[in-house]
Amino acid sequence: MDKLLIRGGRRLGGEVPVSGAKNAALPELVAALLSAEPVTLANVPVLKDVSTTLALLRNMGVAVERNDAQPGTVALDASRITSPEAPYELVKTMRASVLALGPLLARFGEATVSLPGGCAIGSRPVDQHIKGLQAMGA
């Protein structure tokens, strides 16, 4: 296509639902680990990485509920975490798993997070996460 031809002169109207962004939702989901109080997030997209992150949180003991009546709403309760660990079997498919390291360390003083997997679009090291934690005394 070489060009777009747009003929105006008509008033536009209507609504367009905007889906939540994965790169915002994943850190927000993992941030729920910081709180012993229930957390509810809205406009969480239905994507594989989101599902994997929710499975990871459930594996740690976080109660997770998706609200079918309000699509995109996820309720999280991390008050009874049983394991500050993100095992390789759950994190091997996504880069975002390293995001669990900081909240687990902050809340429990320790964390075990396997090195993340994910796509092969090039080098995306986690050293900045490690450097940040070291700078804060870890």
* DSSP secondary structure, 20-38, as one string: PPHHHHHHHHHHGGG-SS-
- Going by the DSSP 8-state scheme, the letter that residue 137 receives in this structure is T
Nearest CA-CA partner of 90 in 67, 60, 131: 60
Does the active-site annotation cover 119? yes
Q: Give the active site residue among 12, 18, 69, 119.
A: 119
HSE toward the beta carbon, residue 105, CA cutoff 13 A:
15
Residue of 45, 58, 56, 37 lying closest to 99 (CA atoms): 56
Catalytic residues: 119
